[in-house]
A and B are shown apart, each in its own frame.
Chain A
Amino acid sequence: MFEFLFSYPARVYEKGQFVLLAGWPAWALGLLGLALAAALAWPYIKSRRDSEVRVKGWQAGVLWGLQAAMALLLLSLLWQPALLVATLKPQQNVVAVIVDDSKSMAIADESGSQTRAAAAKEILNAGLLDELKKQFQVRLYKVGRSLERLEKVDDLQATQTATRLSDSLRGVAAESASVPVGAIVLLSDGGDNAGGIDLSTISEVRARRIPVHTVGLGREKYDRDLEIVSVDVPARALADSRITAQVTLRQTGYSKSKITLTLRDGSKILGQQQMVLKADGEPQTESILFNAGPAGPKALQIGVAPLDNEENRANNQVTRLVNVEATKPRILYIEGEPKWEYKFLRRALEDDKTVSITSMLRTTQNKIYRQGIADPKELESGFPDKAEDLFQYHGLIIGGVEIGYFTVAQQEMIRQFVDRRGGGLLFLGGRNALSDGGWGRSGLLDLVPVTITDRRDTFKRDRAKVELAVGGRDSLITRLVENPDANVERWKKLPELENYQETGAAKPGAVVLAESIIGGKRWPLLATQNYGRGRSAILASAGTWRWQMLQPLEDKSHEVFWAQLCRWLVTASPPRVLSSTPRQVLTDETKVQIRAEVRDKTYLPVSDAKVEARILLPDGSAEMIEMRPEPMAAGQYTATWDAEKPGAYVAEIVAKRGDEELGSDLFNFRREDGVAENFGSEQNRELLEKLSSQTGGVYYPRADAARLAKEVSYSEAGITVREAKDLWNLPIIFLVILLLRASEWMLRRKWGVV
């Protein structure tokens, strides 16, 4: 209809520039128009002066308006209005037709159970290709893992295990340097699984003014499907520690159904979570709590069993890697006086396989009793006074020790332990702790997650009930039983604390996990916060030991609580050499990015180290890569490497400075092929539309694809000519003239004005 009325496609009006071809000045048109309008008004003014006035003022105005509009329209046509538009010169330009050849194109969700690839072939063979060939040189490509020339459409197989749209667009854009590429036509479902189309690709295509026209294939929404959208699992875990996998899924057609999320290590089920599905299309996140088990690399499968009549069953499960470390992080616990909490804290961790505790207890004014020391020299002179001695620990617990016990240098070292070393610090309550120990006036006050005063009477030897705060409901530290609601109730049933310490509210950024309750008044009991590279916490009591003594012998809540708190304290404490990769599972990808952060014994960044990555391949062979320092980030080293074969890889990073070995670290990664195309398999119309609109192209649904041949020539890329499109002969103009005259005639008859 638009083209019938306006003679040209809408795209001409979008791209064209309005001009007047007669060559007469536009101001003359305006002046003449005004004169004509005035001349047409004169008879009405004159007739108002006559005694025989038969028309009202407003009616005269309407009639004059209609006459003036038509006169002006006719007048403007004399100036020959037209649109100047750039069009591709016939047969002198190349149009690149790119067809998605990935596995997702084999999904039969087009009308009549036709595959997307078959639909693409049909569109091209049914005239589009011939129409394009009449005007341009057509280069046919297929895109999957890479961009390849295609001899004929029927060679499409839809078997490639990845779609790299970004790379293929760059490839075609690069070709435009040698051949005049006038436009790109992309037939795809938009399922890019190489991280989408990046801004630099868009910029490159835009810079060459090449419009990318897209033809969307495939259903935009399944009727019945469940897809795992993302799974977040920590890349590292301590042996036998409990960790959480955050699983986000989305579904259509199964709203209110009950499903079971399962987490497996091979055939062994490590965790399960029941859930009721929310509304269609709404992302839903659930957590699965599981035990990391013994040390070693783990490939975890997380997902849901296929549901009844599910249209895509291959997107219900993903793999994630977790490196369960054999190291046993060490915690230094300093206690200012003998107390039961000290004994029972040590006992709770004595059998723990994940953390070890080294303690120093001031038994008398001048004696320190050490336990859990690695050698007789350790802590022989008391609390460490060198950073390298303190920083060998991963966590630090400060019990009832007054601030004055530490020298100013030691106080600063404690801050750096958290801030720079990235260690975990826990403050415990006590008669010489926190406010009562003078910490309220110390420079380390900001390490305490709650506000404390400089009062000296905040430690109370009165029993206090405990309850979880809102922040503790889903915390791994406070999880005594799996079910969150049951856990809240479990905490209410814990024996009273033997004592508590009054503190202020949590500081901004801190989270209160549990509260002590005395006479209806609540005090923060357990609060945590992140601080610098590390984290700190407060347990404002020295009386959790009653949980051990006042509960049945087989009850393990005291041990579980302390193990979880101490694991939280140390799990994220980094080693001196810390390696990582942004994506541990490469789904149909080959490039792996390796990063390493290198620090010395005092955890200052080292920028002059020699850092090498030794990669152990699935076939048992190894490759060495030298990592390069990042110029703008001290102590950071990076490298990129191609994982050519699918399988499991291990990267060991070793850092040296001269003959001194600074440390080493390792991580696992895995390349999986034939997986990515199963996810996000609905048509990604949003991506295709964005790509077209940002490059000056148009998105066409399959039904409108035939229009493409006519519109593709309006482009400013390649070899173009400026074409003037006349507007005087548009059917819409004749229609408007007719309407204006007819309206005037009708009104005159109605009002009796001849």
Chain B
Amino acid sequence: MRSRIWIFSLVLAFAVISVTYAQRGRRSFDDEDGPIINPPDANEKTEFTFARLRYPSGRSGGGYWGIRGSWSTDYPKADRQFVQGLRRLSRVHVRSVEEVVDLDTDEIFNHPWIYAVEVGHWDLNEKQAAKLREYLLKGGFLMVDDFHGSIEWELFTASLSRVFPDRPVIDLQNKEPVFHVLYDLDERFQIPGIVMFYSGQTWEQDGVEGKWRGVFDDQGRLMVGICHNMDIGDAWEHADMPRYPEHYASLAYRIGINYIMYAMTH
């Protein structure tokens, strides 16, 4: 009798957990600011979805799940807070929640714009690099952010060179369409993360100056937008924090929107 009660209790518990999990639709996460609740329109079918790239990180022994310096930094609050701005400030039909994609399936091809963070620690194998190369050459766009200094740059370019062994990384000039597609962004400056609250400086490691760089295709279209020595994701995430300066958050939003507009027009 007691064993039956145990079995019944286990089945009931499994059913309750399953139903609860299924009703959640998309996963909610506890991020640095506490639990994130999915909005009611999380499952809306839209034109654009903020796609975050889940990549294997050197710090996590080649796996996906690192604690810090991984693909999930600022996730998902930065993504969701940013798309609210994108909704308000443009005519892009955008989903309220993000989508996580990786380079081990073809799902990435359904999202022609992807965002990767902390790429100073990514570690793509040849197969993943080939898939990213195919994705970009077909018309996909990658925005990378939140990596700092020369060491992380080296780590970043180590994987990038597996993606494009023969394409140079180029410093973007003000005349580039990506800085004018919606907002004219001639006056750009380094966007710091919240680390400045503790360090009192806008840079991390030896990345004193914000760098706007990119990789182009044969037709001169930007495929990879590289925001080095900056933490735009933090600016999106903490835009609602009174301590975080408005001018950084404002530029971060405008940069993000311009990159998306560029990806949707070029």
Proximity bits, A338-349, B CB within 8 Å = 1, else 0 = 111011101100
- Indicate if the CB atoms of B264 and A342 lie closer than 8 Å: yes
- Which residue of the partner chain B has the closest CB to A347? B139
Question: Which of A171-179, A416-424, A543-551 contacts the other chain?
Answer: A543-551
Question: Which of A88-96, A188-196, A365-373, A646-654 contacts the other chain?
Answer: A365-373
Question: Which of B5-13, B27-35, B45-53, B55-63 contacts the other chain?
Answer: B45-53
Question: Which of B85-93, B115-123, B193-201, B240-248 contacts the other chain?
Answer: B85-93
Proximity bits, B91-113, A CB within 8 Å = 1, else 0 = 11100000000000010011010
Known contacts A363-B181, A367-B182; is A548 also within 8 Å of B265 by CB?
A: no
Q: Judge if B178 is at the interface, Cβ distance under 8 Å.
A: no
- Indicate if the CB atoms of A350 and B112 lie closer than 8 Å: no
Per a CB cutoff under 8 Å, which of B45, B47, B182, B265 touches A371? Answer: B265
Q: In the complex the two chains form, what is the Cα distance from A343 to B141 in whole Å?
A: 12
- Indicate if the CB atoms of B134 and A553 lie closer than 8 Å: yes
Proximity bits, B243-266, A CB within 8 Å = 1, else 0 = 000000000000000001101111
Cβ of A351: which chain B residues have Cβ within 8 Å of it?
Answer: 219
Per a CB cutoff under 8 Å, which of B140, B181, B182, B264 touches A339? Answer: B264
Q: In the complex the two chains form, what is the Cα distance from A342 to B91 in whole Å?
A: 14
Q: Judge if B170 is at the interface, Cβ distance under 8 Å.
A: no
Cβ of B138: which chain A residues have Cβ within 8 Å of it?
Answer: 548-549, 553
Q: Judge if A364 is at the interface, Cβ distance under 8 Å.
A: yes
Per a CB cutoff under 8 Å, which of B90, B109, B110, B137 touches A338? Answer: B90
Q: Judge if A431 is at the interface, Cβ distance under 8 Å.
A: yes
Known contacts A363-B91, A369-B181, A553-B138; is A340 also within 8 Å of B109 by CB?
A: no
Q: Judge if A461 is at the interface, Cβ distance under 8 Å.
A: yes
Q: In the complex the two chains form, what is the Cα distance from A322 to B182 in whole Å?
A: 45
- Indicate if the CB atoms of A361 and B140 lie closer than 8 Å: no
Per a CB cutoff under 8 Å, which of A337, A339, A343, A361 touches B139? Answer: A343
Q: In the complex the two chains form, what is the Cα distance from A548 to B109 in whole Å?
A: 9
- Indicate if the CB atoms of B266 and A343 lie closer than 8 Å: yes
- Indicate if the CB atoms of A340 and B112 lie closer than 8 Å: yes
- Indicate if the CB atoms of A337 and B92 lie closer than 8 Å: yes
- Indicate if the CB atoms of A545 and B112 lie closer than 8 Å: yes
Q: Judge if A437 is at the interface, Cβ distance under 8 Å.
A: no
- Indicate if the CB atoms of B91 and A364 lie closer than 8 Å: yes
Known contacts A369-B265, A549-B138; is A337 also within 8 Å of B109 by CB?
A: no
Per a CB cutoff under 8 Å, which of A337, A347, A461, A553 touches B91? Answer: A337
Cβ of B261: which chain A residues have Cβ within 8 Å of it?
Answer: 338, 363, 369
Q: Judge if A336 is at the interface, Cβ distance under 8 Å.
A: yes
Closest Cβ of chain A: how far from B92's Cβ, in Å? 5
Q: In the complex the two chains form, what is the Cα distance from A336 to B92 in whole Å?
A: 10
Closest Cβ of chain A: how far from B224's Cβ, in Å? 16
Q: In the complex the two chains form, what is the Cα distance from A545 to B135 in whole Å?
A: 13
- Which residue of the partner chain A has the closest CB to B265? A343
Q: In the complex the two chains form, what is the Cα distance from A707 to B110 in whole Å?
A: 86
Q: Judge if A121 is at the interface, Cβ distance under 8 Å.
A: no
Cβ of B89: which chain A residues have Cβ within 8 Å of it?
Answer: 364
Q: In the complex the two chains form, what is the Cα distance from A462 to B109 in whole Å?
A: 16
Per a CB cutoff under 8 Å, which of A361, A462, A549 touches B110? Answer: A549
Q: In the complex the two chains form, what is the Cα distance from A367 to B89 in whole Å?
A: 11
Q: Judge if A473 is at the interface, Cβ distance under 8 Å.
A: no
Q: Judge if A362 is at the interface, Cβ distance under 8 Å.
A: yes
- Indicate if the CB atoms of A340 and B47 lie closer than 8 Å: yes
Per a CB cutoff under 8 Å, which of B48, B112, B263 touches A549? Answer: B112
Cβ of B266: which chain A residues have Cβ within 8 Å of it?
Answer: 343, 346-347
Per a CB cutoff under 8 Å, which of B92, B110, B139, B181 touches A344? Answer: B139
Q: In the complex the two chains form, what is the Cα distance from A235 to B186 in whole Å?
A: 51
- Indicate if the CB atoms of B182 and A361 lie closer than 8 Å: no
Most chain B beta carbons < 10 A, residue from A344, A361, A369, A371: A369
Closest Cβ of chain B: how far from A81's Cβ, in Å? 96
Known contacts A351-B219, A361-B265; is A369 also within 8 Å of B182 by CB?
A: yes
Q: In the complex the two chains form, what is the Cα distance from A346 to B91 in whole Å?
A: 19
Within 8 A of B (CB), among A451-483: 461-462
Per a CB cutoff under 8 Å, which of B46, B106, B264 touches A461? Answer: B46
Known contacts A338-B48, A338-B264, A350-B219; is A365 also within 8 Å of B110 by CB?
A: no
Cβ of A361: which chain B residues have Cβ within 8 Å of it?
Answer: 265
- Indicate if the CB atoms of A338 and B265 lie closer than 8 Å: yes
Cβ of A347: which chain B residues have Cβ within 8 Å of it?
Answer: 139, 266
- Indicate if the CB atoms of B265 and A461 lie closer than 8 Å: no
Proximity bits, A484-498, B CB within 8 Å = 1, else 0 = 000000000000001
- Which residue of the partner chain B has the closest CB to A460? B45
Q: In the complex the two chains form, what is the Cα distance from A545 to B109 in whole Å?
A: 10
Cβ of B263: which chain A residues have Cβ within 8 Å of it?
Answer: 343
Closest Cβ of chain B: how far from A722's Cβ, in Å? 91
- Which residue of the partner chain B has the closest CB to A337? B91
Cβ of A340: which chain B residues have Cβ within 8 Å of it?
Answer: 47-48, 112, 264
Cβ of B90: which chain A residues have Cβ within 8 Å of it?
Answer: 338, 363-364
Within 8 A of B (CB), among A569-628: none
Proximity bits, A398-429, B CB within 8 Å = 1, else 0 = 00000000000000000000000000000000
Q: In the complex the two chains form, what is the Cα distance from A363 to B89 in whole Å?
A: 9
Closest Cβ of chain B: how far from A166's Cβ, in Å? 60
Q: In the complex the two chains form, what is the Cα distance from A549 to B110 in whole Å?
A: 7
- Indicate if the CB atoms of A364 and B112 lie closer than 8 Å: no
Cβ of A371: which chain B residues have Cβ within 8 Å of it?
Answer: 265
- Indicate if the CB atoms of A337 and B265 lie closer than 8 Å: no
Within 8 A of A (CB), among B129-147: 134-135, 137-140
Most chain B beta carbons < 10 A, residue from A344, A347, A431, A462: A347
Q: In the complex the two chains form, what is the Cα distance from A351 to B218 in whole Å?
A: 11
- Indicate if the CB atoms of A431 and B181 lie closer than 8 Å: no
Known contacts A363-B181, A549-B110; is A338 also within 8 Å of B47 by CB?
A: yes
Closest Cβ of chain A: how far from B121's Cβ, in Å? 27
Cβ of B134: which chain A residues have Cβ within 8 Å of it?
Answer: 553
Closest Cβ of chain A: how far from B37's Cβ, in Å? 24
- Which residue of the partner chain B has the closest CB to A549? B109
Per a CB cutoff under 8 Å, which of B110, B181, B260 touches A546? Answer: B110
Closest Cβ of chain B: how far from A550's Cβ, in Å? 5
Q: In the complex the two chains form, what is the Cα distance from A346 to B181 in whole Å?
A: 15
Closest Cβ of chain A: how far from B173's Cβ, in Å? 19
Per a CB cutoff under 8 Å, which of A350, A369, A550 touches B109? Answer: A550
Cβ of A498: which chain B residues have Cβ within 8 Å of it?
Answer: 110
Known contacts A337-B47, A371-B265; is A365 also within 8 Å of B139 by CB?
A: no
Known contacts A364-B91, A461-B46; is A548 also within 8 Å of B181 by CB?
A: no
Known contacts A336-B91, A337-B93, A363-B182; is A549 also within 8 Å of B265 by CB?
A: no
Q: In the complex the two chains form, what is the Cα distance from A439 to B206 in whole Å?
A: 58
- Indicate if the CB atoms of B106 and A550 lie closer than 8 Å: yes
Within 8 A of B (CB), among A301-350: 336-340, 342-344, 346-347, 350
Cβ of A337: which chain B residues have Cβ within 8 Å of it?
Answer: 47, 91-93
Q: In the complex the two chains form, what is the Cα distance from A497 to B207 in whole Å?
A: 44
Most chain B beta carbons < 10 A, residue from A336, A337, A361, A549: A549
Name 18 extra pairs, CB < 8 A, besides A337-B47, A549-B109, A550-B106. A338-B47, A339-B93, A340-B47, A340-B48, A340-B112, A340-B264, A342-B264, A343-B139, A343-B265, A344-B112, A347-B139, A350-B219, A351-B219, A369-B182, A546-B110, A548-B139, A549-B110, A550-B109
Shortest beta-carbon contacts, A-B, top 8: A461-B45, A337-B91, A549-B109, A338-B264, A338-B92, A339-B47, A343-B264, A364-B90
Q: List 25 A-B contacts (CB under 8 A).
A: A337-B47, A337-B92, A337-B93, A338-B91, A338-B92, A338-B265, A339-B47, A339-B264, A340-B112, A340-B264, A343-B112, A343-B139, A343-B264, A343-B265, A346-B265, A346-B266, A350-B219, A369-B181, A369-B182, A461-B45, A462-B45, A548-B138, A548-B139, A549-B139, A550-B109
